[in-house]
Amino acid sequence: MSEKRERKAFDRRYESAHINIVVLTGSIGSGATHFRGESLWSPSIDVIAHVDETGAIVSEEGVLYWLATGEQRGTWIHDLKPLTQYVVRVRRAISDPVARKKLGLPVPNTAHHFALEQVIERDVHVPALDERMERWLQPNTISRDFGSFTLDRAFECFIGDLHRDDSAIGVSLDVDEGSVEGAETCTVALSYLTELVAALPRVEASWRAFAATKLTGLANDWQQEDDSEPAPEPITADTFARRIRLSELAINDEGLITTYFDDGEMFGGHSITFYVEPDGTMTDAHLAG
């Protein structure tokens, strides 16, 4: 798709009318993906809250989107910073639920999605948005005997480590559905983690065995591409299980666990990952990263 057609496609997603609003950007800076083809990028940045065109404070989160060329990747044109207030000229997103439903796609809430046209003023300070940022930055840490976990509001999860004699396992625990900002909890995920910690050696052994069952053949395929002499011994399921190491796990608010294992130098540094259902069933072992 040509650059001109990509810009037209982008514009069709938004109203033609321009409005001026004040936004408070999120704690993560701008990111970008290709828009539709390879001509243009679509940078975006999260908005924690904003003051709308009527002067009303909108506490719901939103997003600013715009287009940029590859040559503009350095600052993505507007050089927006995290946790900063800007006066911006934008156009509101147009929701098209009928078209998305026909395609079997979920209908996102685009009520506070905007096309960014211009940054009018930088680093302004609206008292209500200053207060909103203070609440956003309020720390929230949950501590247990096996570790402490600190809330990352941008990702809606608590982050921490499980420490072992020789290593640490990174852990993320999803915030409970319905948690109130400033009093977030991760009761569901934490309960599953507590059970897991109590039986970790046994459970981890079963996880290693599952990964070995699913991926030992692939490990040997990768090894056969190694031209070094002498040729290495074939990898068995036992050696596979011994070589990998649990490095991270994520537990969502329904108890689903996503595991990440270091690859033991069998897959060029890719992570080995699979899912563990709340009942302990393991599924979908594959490489990632």
Residue range 60-109, pLDDT digits in tens? 999 999 999 988 988 999 999 999 999 999 999 987 666 555 545 566 77
Which pLDDT score, from 0 to 100, does residue 118 have?
Answer: 98
Q: How many CA atoms lie within 13 A of 61 on its CB side?
A: 15
Taking the C-alpha atoms of residue 252 and residue 143, their distance in angstroms, rounded to an integer, is: 18
pLDDT computed for residue 97 by the predictor: 62
The confidence score (pLDDT) of residue 243 equals 97
Residue 46 and residue 31: Cα distance in Å, rounded?
9
Give residue for tokens 């059970």. Answer: 195
Residue finishing a domain among 80, 100, 130: 130
194 with 276, same domain? Answer: yes
Do residue 103 and residue 187 come from a single domain?
A: no
Q: How far is CA 216 from CA 227, 238, 248, 259, 265, in A?
A: 19, 9, 21, 17, 13
Q: Please tell me whether residues 64 and 143 are part of one structural domain.
A: no
Report, as ranges of residue numbers, the positions in the chain whose pLDDT lies below 70.
1, 96-107, 229
Residues 142 and 123 in one domain: no
pLDDT at position 74, please?
86
C-alpha–C-alpha distance, residues 87 and 73, integer Å: 22
Helix count and strand count (H, E) for the chain: 6, 15
Omega prior to 278 cis, within 30 of 0: no
Last residue of a domain, one of 130, 156, 171: 130
Looking at the DSSP bridge assignments, the partners of residue 158 are 151, 173
Are both 97 and 151 inside the same structural domain? no
Amino acid at 261: F
Q: What pTM does this model have?
A: 0.83
Question: pLDDT at position 111, please?
Answer: 87
Which of 76, 97, 130 is the last residue before a domain boundary?
A: 130
Residue 223 burial (C-beta neighbours within 10 Å; 0-12, 13-18, 19+)? middle
Q: How far apart are CA 226 and CA 266, in angstroms?
A: 11
168: tokens are: 């640490």
Domain span at residue 256? 138-289
Query: Do 24 and 68 reside in the same domain of the chain?
Result: yes
Q: Which two tokens stand for residue 184?
A: 């977030």
Query: Do 10 and 101 belong to one domain?
Result: yes
Tally the domains of the chain.
2
Percent helix, strand, coil in the chain (nearest 5)?
Answer: 25, 35, 40
Percent of the chain predicted with pLDDT > 90 = 76
Is residue 124 located within the same domain as residue 143? no
Contact 42, 10 (CB under 8 A): yes
102 and 56 share one domain: yes
User: DSSP secondary-structure letter at 69?
Assistant: -
Residues 101 and 231 in one domain: no
Whole-number pLDDT of residue 102: 53
Residue 163 and residue 286 in one domain? yes
CATH number of residue 83's parent domain: 2.40.50.140
pLDDT in the model for residue 261: 98
